């Protein structure tokens, strides 16, 4: 190897040593920097996630406060009392008769973060008034839900029976909020209410009514007129109709309408009634025998002698029927 080749080999070797040293120095310096960048990226991701969770927490808190403003109260007893007051006030403002409706408490039912409570409401009235009642309760700004709505024809012409649950929530735990004045009830002159006008105008739930027979000739009509003695007869059992079986402060009440004198009488368990004594009110939905599957939502049980009779809501005392032991509620003494 001559001197020129030795110089070239030394130069190449020096370059290799220089490059190797540069790589070693670069790796020695850059590795800590890469570790710092990786840790910084991890911390930045954690910070971004924490900020997102913080924003979601405050957004959820604001949403829960907005929902709490629409609840009736922060505890179950106050919410139950206030919601019941709203339901009763809506019934009266809708032109319905309060004694024609029963309101039974529902719940509380435990849910994640809340308790569900409400009222099971059933009664009867003119179709337009019943539609207004359901519309106002459904469109109100209170936190609520209407469940199991049922409309059926009534035994009386021009009336319908309604049954539904009015449910609300009591938040647990409830955020601290300052509630304002109760919201005003929704208007009945809205597009949502106008959509229901066809149901009212066509009276779709009215049962078929047979055309009345033509009046008799004047001579026959005069012969069939009852004398003063006949008009003075006392009213029979068909003149007393059970119009409401409500519950007040945990005790059932029986409201009976005197169709002759046009007045309503109230009875409680233990009172004399229909030739016997009132035992209790049965609120179980059961079919009425001999009516083709019609369902009775409630009935008053009367003990006459050693027998127990039932008069279904909407029926007269002439329609009372004797019950066997299997038809009695489990809590009835005769059943036990």
The three state secondary structure string of 48-84 is HHHHHHHHHHHHHHHHHHHHHHCCCCCCHHHHHHHHH
Encoded tokens for 262: 């046009």
Distance of alpha carbon 43 from alpha carbon 312, whole angstroms: 72
Return averaged pLDDT per consecutive 10 residues of the chain, 336 residues in all: 74 76 70 79 86 81 85 90 90 87 89 92 90 90 91 79 93 83 74 76 60 62 47 71 78 85 86 89 83 80 90 88 84 62
Tokens matching residue 289: 């025998």
- Burial category of 288 from C-beta neighbours within 10 Å (exposed 0-12, middle 13-18, buried 19 and up): middle
Per-residue pLDDT tens digits for 15-60:
777 777 777 766 677 777 777 888 888 888 888 888 888 888 778 7
Q: What is the pLDDT of residue 305?
A: 87
Provide the pLDDT for residue 120: 93
Domain regions of the chain by residue span: 7-68, 76-174+190-201, 235-327
**Token pair recorded at residue 30:** 């850059």
Instruction: Look up tokens 């519950």; give the residue.
Output: 247
Give the pLDDT score at 145: 92
Q: For CA atoms 91, 97, 99, 100, give the dihedral sign.
A: negative
Q: Which pLDDT does position 203 carry in this prediction?
A: 61
User: What pLDDT, on a 0 to 100 scale, did the predictor assign at position 117?
Assistant: 93
What pLDDT score was predicted for residue 228?
47
Of 302, 299, 316, 300, the residue nearest 238 (C-alpha): 316
- Compute, in degrees rounded to 10, the torsion defined by CA atoms 17, 20, 22, 28: -140
The pTM for the full model equals 0.51
Token look-up 């012969």 returns 223
Round to whole Å and give the CA distance between 220 and 199. Answer: 42
pLDDT value at position 192?
A: 79
What tens digit of pLDDT does each residue of 146-171 get?
999 998 887 776 788 999 999 999 99
Distance in angstroms (rounded) separating the CA atoms of residues 120 and 9: 102
pLDDT score, position 216: 65
Q: Output the CA torsion sign for 97, 98, 104, 105.
A: positive
Residue with tokens 């007040």: 248
E strand map for the chain: 101-111, 114-126, 145-153, 159-171, 240-248, 251-258, 263-267, 272-273, 276-282, 286-287, 295-296, 299-304, 307-312, 321-322
Structure confidence at residue 220 (pLDDT): 45
CB 106 within 8 A of CB 144: no
- Write the CB contacts of 118 (distance below 8 Å, at least 6 apart in sequence): 83, 105, 106, 107, 144, 165, 166, 167, 168
Is residue 301 a contact partner of residue 286, using CB atoms and an 8 Å limit? no
Copy the structure tokens of residue 78. 């106050």
Strands 101-111 vs 114-126: parallel, antiparallel or unpaired? antiparallel
Best CA proximity match to 172, nearest among 117, 111, 118, 119: 111
Structure tokens at 264: 């309503």
- CATH 3.40.50.300 assigned to domain 76-174+190-201? The reply is no
């Amino acid at each position: 190897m001559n001197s020129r080749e030795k110089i070239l080999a030394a130069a190449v070797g020096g370059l290799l040593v220089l490059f190797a040293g540069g790589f070693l120095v670069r790796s020695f310096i850059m590795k800590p920097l890469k570790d710092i960048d990786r840790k910084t990226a991890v911390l930045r991701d954690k910070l971004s996630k924490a900020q997102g969770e913080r924003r979601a927490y405050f957004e959820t808190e604001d949403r829960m406060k907005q929902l709490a403003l629409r609840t009736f109260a922060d505890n179950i007893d106050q919410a139950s009392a206030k919601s019941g007051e709203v339901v009763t006030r809506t019934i009266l403002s809708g032109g319905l008769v309060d004694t024609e409706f029963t309101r039974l408490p529902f719940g509380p039912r435990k849910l994640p973060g809340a308790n569900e409570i409400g009222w099971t409401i059933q009664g009867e009235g003119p179709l337009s008034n019943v539609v207004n009642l359901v519309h106002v309760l459904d469109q109100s700004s209170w936190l609520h839900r209407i469940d199991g709505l049922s409309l059926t024809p009534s035994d009386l012409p021009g009336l319908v029976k309604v049954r539904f649950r009015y449910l609300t929530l009591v938040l647990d735990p409830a955020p601290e909020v300052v509630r304002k004045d109760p919201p005003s009830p929704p208007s009945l002159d809205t597009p949502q209410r106008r959509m229901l006008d066809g149901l009212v105008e066509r009276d779709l739930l009215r049962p078929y009514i047979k055309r009345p027979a033509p009046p008799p000739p004047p001579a026959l009509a005069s012969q069939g007129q009852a004398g003063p003695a006949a008009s003075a007869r006392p009213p029979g059992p068909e003149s007393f109709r059970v119009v409401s079986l409500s519950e007040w402060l945990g005790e059932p009440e029986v409201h009976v309408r005197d169709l002759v004198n046009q007045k309503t009488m109230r009875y409680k368990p233990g009172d004399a009634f229909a030739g016997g004594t009132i035992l209790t009110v049965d609120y179980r939905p059961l079919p009425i025998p001999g009516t083709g599957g019609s369902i009775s939502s409630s009935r008053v049980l009367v003990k006459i002698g050693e027998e127990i009779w039932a008069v279904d809501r909407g029926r007269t005392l002439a329609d009372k029927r004797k019950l066997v032991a299997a038809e009695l509620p489990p809590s009835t003494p005769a059943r036990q």
